[in-house]
């Protein structure tokens, strides 16, 4: 769950996909062996589980057989995923799972997993002798993985050697991050772990020098960020639940200036092309947002399928399907067409929030 003590219980766990637009022929990867997928054959679903219960899972759904395995990671690897898994992203033939752990427990790490089999390839510790890094989200660029952390640093991982090769001090309690134009944009949230840090900025890191170059002021307590196909970024901020309201900020990645604020209280966020899908009103409403025009569309799901609120949203670039994770006690996920029609559903582990796709070539 989110460790921000200001968040209400439900919103504290509300996960979203932070997904940039990716090329279909490379499946979000610069790896030369990546091919154009022909179809989606399976869905991995990261399930956050309940804080303090060490019950995070990765479920798997086989689209052809319609079989669902709620704790596929444990079945394949023989051990549990861990405590508070917060993000799962694919890069080439691997997927990278960020396990935040609990402060003071030294149980934070990055689990690197083979997409074809679900087998763990390596568990990279995210702590040292003195402290935990508290990793939160992962993004990629040119065979490097970048992981934000509550320790105020971004860690860079070489995707060939699967080792941390550098860390850079950026700000306070870092949450979501996105890569555009050879720059990382990372949110600085309001968290008690950094009481004196900036709580209303998106920090920008140049990837050539791997150094911070500026802060962009946004609405208080930014937590989610995603990049659209036109290069703009959307930032979800949750305010302070008192006198500062939540909202949505749009950033131009060419000028690195905020170009608009919108009074939307949003939780989950995913972008496909220039269309963002926003989870509004505690997950009860899901609406498309045109990143280019700034226009909010009508309800995406109108058949009453989502019962407990959208806990996470993922856009599948192959077929433009939209996967919505339902925040029910018994986890469940739904696949919708780009027009909001339900295609299928499947059971998952507790608190599903983010999908990764297995393709046929």
Structure tokens at 240: 């302070």
pLDDT at 20: 37
Distance CA 342, CA 29 (A): 29
- Mean pLDDT, rounded, for 48-59: 94
**The pLDDT value given to residue 35:** 77
Share of the chain above pLDDT 70, in %: 89
Confidence of residue 334 (pLDDT cuts 50, 70, 90): very high
Distance CA 326, CA 253 (A): 32
Residues contacting 341, CB < 8 A, separation 6+: none
Helices of type H across the chain: 9-13, 72-77
* Residue 307 clears pLDDT 90, i.e. is over it: no
What is d(CA 305, CA 75) in angstroms, rounded to the nearest whole number?
29
Q: Rounded mean pLDDT of 77-94?
A: 97
From 20-29, 89-98, 245-254, the region with the lowest mean pLDDT: 20-29
What DSSP letter does each residue of 31-45 carry, written as one string? -TT-----EEEEEEE
Contact 165, 146 (CB under 8 A): no
Give 196 or 308, the one with higher predicted confidence.
Answer: 196
Fold of 9-360: Methylamine Dehydrogenase; Chain H (2.130.10)
Mean pLDDT of the chain: 90
Confidence of residue 5 (pLDDT cuts 50, 70, 90): very low
Q: 246 falls in which pLDDT band (50, 70, 90)?
A: very high
How confident is the model over 79-87, as a mean pLDDT?
A: 97
What's the maximum distance between 2 C-alpha atoms anywhere in the chain? 53
The three-state secondary structure class of 347 is strand
Instruction: Encode pLDDT of 29-48 as tens digits.
Output: 544 445 789 999 999 999 99
Q: What is the mean pLDDT of residues 116-130?
A: 96
pLDDT of amino acid 324? 95
Per-residue pLDDT averaged across 40-66, rounded?
96
Tell me the per-residue pLDDT of 100-120, one tens digit each, with 9 for 90 and over: 999 989 999 999 999 999 999
For residue 4, the model assigns a pLDDT of 44
How far is the C-alpha of 223 from the C-alpha of 238, rounded, in Å?
Answer: 7
Phi and psi angles of residue 78, each rounded to the nearest 5 degrees, phi first: 85, 5
Number of helices (H), then strands (E), belonging to the chain: the values are 2, 27
* Domain limits, the chain: 9-360
Q: What is the pLDDT of residue 28?
A: 54
Average pLDDT score over residue span 126-154? 96
pLDDT exceeds 50 at position 281: yes
């Amino acid at each position: 769950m989110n460790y921000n003590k200001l968040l209400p219980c439900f919103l504290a766990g509300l996960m979203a996909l932070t997904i940039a637009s990716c090329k279909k022929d490379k499946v979000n990867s610069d790896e030369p062996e990546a091919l154009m997928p022909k179809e989606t054959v399976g869905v991995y679903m990261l399930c956050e589980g309940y804080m303090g219960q060490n019950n995070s899972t990765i479920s798997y759904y086989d689209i052809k057989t319609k079989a669902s395995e709620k704790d596929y990671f444990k079945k394949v690897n023989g051990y549990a995923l861990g405590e508070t898994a917060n993000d799962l992203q694919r890069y080439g033939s691997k997927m990278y799972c960020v396990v935040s752990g609990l402060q003071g427990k030294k149980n934070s790490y990055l689990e690197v997993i083979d997409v074809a089999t679900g087998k763990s390839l390596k568990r990279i510790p995210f702590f040292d002798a003195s402290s935990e890094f508290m990793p939160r989200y992962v993004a990629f660029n040119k065979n490097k993985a970048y992981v934000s952390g509550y320790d105020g640093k971004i860690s860079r991982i070489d995707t060939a050697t699967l080792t941390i090769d550098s860390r850079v001090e950026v700000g306070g309690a870092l949450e979501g991050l996105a890569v555009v134009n050879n720059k990382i944009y990372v949110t600085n949230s309001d968290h008690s772990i950094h009481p004196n840090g900036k709580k209303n900025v998106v920090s920008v890191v140049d990837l050539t020098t791997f150094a911070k170059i500026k802060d962009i002021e946004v609405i208080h307590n930014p937590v989610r960020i995603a990049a659209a196909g036109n290069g703009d970024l959307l930032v979800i901020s949750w305010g302070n639940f008192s006198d500062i309201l939540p909202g949505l900020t749009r950033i131009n990645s060419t000028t690195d200036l905020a170009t608009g604020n919108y009074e939307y209280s949003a939780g989950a966020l995913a972008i496909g092309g220039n269309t963002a899908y926003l989870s509004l009103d505690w997950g009860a409403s899901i609406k498309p947002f045109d990143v280019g025009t700034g226009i909010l569309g009508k309800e995406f799901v109108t058949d009453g399928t989502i019962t407990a609120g959208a806990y996470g949203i993922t856009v599948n670039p192959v077929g433009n399907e939209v996967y919505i994770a339902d925040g029910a006690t018994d986890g469940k996920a739904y696949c919708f067409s780009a027009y909001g029609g339900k295609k299928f559903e499947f059971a998952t582990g507790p608190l599903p929030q983010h999908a990764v796709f297995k393709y046929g070539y």
